């Protein structure tokens, strides 16, 4: 499935590939890789609230800041919440970035192998083979409670709104 006019990269429209999701949908499982090339799946976090922060590439300024911001926020959240950062970066580059940036609360993961996440969540950019900047909040029962696909790849997501959704799920 291809969708246009949802995301722009530097003002130019790009095509998103994959399933168009909406709040209330069941979250699809996916397989990504951690920095040690271990397969990680959504089901590995069953019973937790999941914040999935999606970045095009951690080697760019906005993505760097997005990962750092969620790392700071993750330090304040209870153990019942997990924060995942998913990008198309190679696992080795992700490990290097996390070490250099002090990212220790966010689980940074790579979708580079087969774009399992990008296709399942409808955020794979056809022209660039990168993921569109987005945030997905998934509850303990794996229902999607919040989606933000940022309309311009070079802009930040609405961190405060996403965290407000997490706090609702926590009953705060």
pLDDT at 164: 97
pLDDT at 76: 96
Catalytic residue among 32, 58, 63, 166: 63
Strands (E), the chain: 2-9, 12-17, 31-33, 39-41, 49-54, 81-87, 107-110, 124-125, 130-131, 134-138, 144-149
pLDDT at 8: 97
Name the nearest CA neighbour of 136 among 45, 35, 39: 45
Q: Is 98 a catalytic residue?
A: no
pLDDT at 47: 96
Query: Per-block average pLDDT, block size 10, for the chain (172 residues)?
Result: 95 96 97 96 97 96 96 96 98 95 96 97 98 98 98 97 96 80
CATH class in words for 2-36+45-170 = alpha beta
pLDDT at 120: 97
Domain ranges (residues) in the chain = 2-36+45-170
pLDDT at 129: 97
């Amino acid at each position: 499935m291809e969708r246009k006019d949802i995301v722009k990269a530097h003002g130019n429209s790009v095509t998103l590939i994959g399933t168009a999701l909406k709040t209330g949908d069941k979250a699809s499982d996916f397989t990504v890789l951690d920095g040690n090339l271990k397969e990680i799946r959504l089901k590995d976090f069953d019973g937790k609230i999941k914040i999935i922060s999606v970045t095009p590439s951690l080697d760019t300024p906005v993505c760097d800041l997005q990962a750092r911001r969620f790392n700071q926020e993750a330090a304040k959240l209870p153990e019942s919440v997990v924060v995942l950062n998913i990008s198309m970066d190679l696992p080795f580059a992700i490990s290097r970035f996390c070490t250099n940036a002090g990212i220790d609360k966010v689980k940074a993961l790579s979708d580079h192998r087969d774009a399992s996440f990008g296709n399942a969540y409808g955020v794979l950019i056809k022209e660039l083979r990168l993921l569109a900047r987005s945030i997905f909040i998934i509850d303990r029962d794996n229902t999607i409670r919040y989606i933000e696909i940022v309309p311009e790849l070079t802009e930040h997501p609405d961190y405060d709104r996403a965290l407000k959704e997490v706090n609702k799920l926590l009953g705060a």
